[in-house]
Amino acid sequence: MLKRLFQQHKMGPSFGVTLGVVLMICGPISFLLIRVFSEKSEYWDHVATYLLPKYMQNTGIIALGVAVAAACIGVFTAYFMTFFDFPLKRIFRWLVLLPLAIPPYIGAVVYFGMLSYTGVVQQFLRGPLGLEGPFKSLNIMNIGGVIFIFSIFLYPYVYAITYTFMQRQANQFIESARTLGYSMKEIFFKLLIPLMRVPLISSVTLVVLEVLSDYGVVNYYGVPTFSTAIFKTWFSMGDVTTAIRLALLLISIVLTVLTTERLLVRRKRFGLAQAKRTPIKVRALKGWRAIGVTSGFAVITSLGFIIPTLQLIQWALMALDSVQLRGLSKILLHTISLAACVAAVVVVVGLVIAHNTRKRQRTFDHVMAKLTISGYALPGAVIAIGVTMSFIALDRFISGFGIYEVLGFGTKTLVISSSIVMLGFALIMRFMAIGYNNIESGMTQLGDGYYYAARLMGLKSYQAVLQVDVPMLKTALLSSFALVFVDVLKELPLTLVLRPFNFTTLATRVYEYANDEMIHEASVASLLIIGISMMSVWLLYRMLNKED
């Protein structure tokens, strides 16, 4: 049957790679479905009756709160950055993206340390101001604090997408509205908001997916959500089946979010490609308006980047003597090597899948391409359980044939599942979407002409890709590598659960220090993550402003 399928669709190596990736990605999810229906759960009735309503309530409140707050901040910054000129605009254009360089779990640690009893804020209130505590309003370890952390560090997703959309709109629409007597306020609500519903909904959906997949922030702040419930049920109770059922419920929430997004944006796309684009006429703000907008940007960028970074630098200077820099260099090597290997695989596989989709142009291939990037929509806790169960089953299957004994592993049965291979696979599954989407977008802009011209000149398919497509897709390939590299660098849930023994990354070291209340020691590794992550932000800044 498989041979007939290959002959029917004239499959080549690129199709085989695509199909293999689809099977590997769908395998862990299928394993979860099989496992949940084949075994009974000891604690499920208790969890479903007493704990599940709280998990759903907290997860829903956090997701909704972050969606609203991130949308407001992102649209505000994108609107004024696009249509107005104000003091320090060139500086804020760069600063407004920098919160992306700080992972939310690091931001959570920093703000807790700053607002705690011994933190700089309460020391200032008790010292120079002479106020007496306790300052209960400064307690950030609650749902409100979680919403604040996610909103202030994830709003750049909304800003980047909506800013790009506003930049590409036909300026005559704005000018026509002005000619008709509409004010900028009326233009914003009656014209821009309806026009940018699609990018706004898509960007907010991306933020919500990031919130649902998070583990570090909600766990550190002690707020029970689906992510913390999955890990605690799995490791504390030892009940894998209950953890899988919670994971499947979380998947259903994710699917609901994605389905809602599709329904909201369906038939609401605007085709402006044929409109004559003219440069946007930027209006200069003066007086109290300029002061207000500049102050707003100053508050947002200070809360999202400047204040946390300065606090981390102060803590790092205090902790340099207690942090083992030699051990940190080894951790840095682990982190960079893992991120580089995963990014390289994602770029190569993404290029092959994009080439297969372009070459064959069949619905089946487009569906497979979408399946290969579905891992990004799955929370890290779900991927961790599915990959772990799948690799353990694979190990047992291989050891059953005595292969491990022949290879010199003796009676050891868990070989692959206790190696770096399992973590690497999970990270590739998680971030394949980032690499593929950038490469696919680059190929769409490039078109098919160069590839088929090379084929007419006698080059084989792989030769045309390597000698023609790769050089012309250099920017897309490098950007894909950089973005995946930084995302792997910041990834916490998968690395924390699936890493082999004695393998530590910068993200897990920050989590370990913070969990042990060694906040100052965690600052050194945090600054390394932020410094490397700024590379991705710089790349995004260049892409957003290349037309300015």
DSSP notation for 353-404: HHHHHHHH--HHHHHHHHHHTGGGGS-HHHHHHHHHHHHHHHHHHHHTTTHH
Dist. CA 391–CA 168, nearest whole Å: 46
DSSP 139: -
Closest CA to 63 of 241, 193, 250, 188: 250
Cis peptide before 53 (omega within 30 of 0): no
CA angle 152, 153, 154 (to 5 degrees): 100
| Domains parsed from the chain with CATH numbers | 36-266+287-318 (1.10.3720.10), 320-547 (1.10.3720.10)
pLDDT string in tens for the chain (548-residue length): 444 443 444 556 767 777 777 777 777 777 777 776 666 677 888 888 888 889 999 999 999 999 999 999 999 999 899 888 999 998 998 899 899 889 999 999 999 999 888 888 888 887 777 777 677 778 899 999 999 999 999 998 889 888 877 776 646 677 777 777 777 778 777 777 777 787 788 788 888 888 888 888 999 999 999 888 888 888 777 777 888 888 888 878 877 877 776 677 665 555 554 445 566 778 888 889 899 999 999 999 999 999 999 999 999 888 777 666 667 888 889 999 999 999 999 888 888 887 777 776 666 666 777 777 677 777 777 888 888 888 888 888 888 777 877 777 766 677 888 889 999 999 998 888 777 777 776 777 666 777 777 777 777 776 777 777 777 777 778 878 888 888 888 888 888 888 888 888 999 988 888 888 888 888 888 999 998 888 777 876 776 666 45
Structural tokens at position 288? 């109290």
Q: How much is the pTM?
A: 0.83
Cβ contacts of 10 within 8 Å, gap of 6 or more = none
Q: How far apart are the first and last CA of the chain?
A: 55
Buried b (16+ CB within 10 A) or exposed e, 179-208: eeebeeeebeeebbeebbebbbbbbbbbbb
Q: Which long-range contacts (CB under 8 A, 24 or more apart) does 512-515 make?
A: 514/105, 514/109, 514/220, 515/220
User: What stretch of H or E contains 535?
Assistant: helix 519-544
Q: Tell me whether strands 84-85 and 283-284 are parallel, antiparallel or unpaired.
A: parallel
Dist. CA 180–CA 182, nearest whole Å: 6
Structural tokens at position 255? 């699917």
Closest CA to 239 of 492, 47, 500, 28: 47
Write down the residue that tokens 């769409």 correspond to.
444
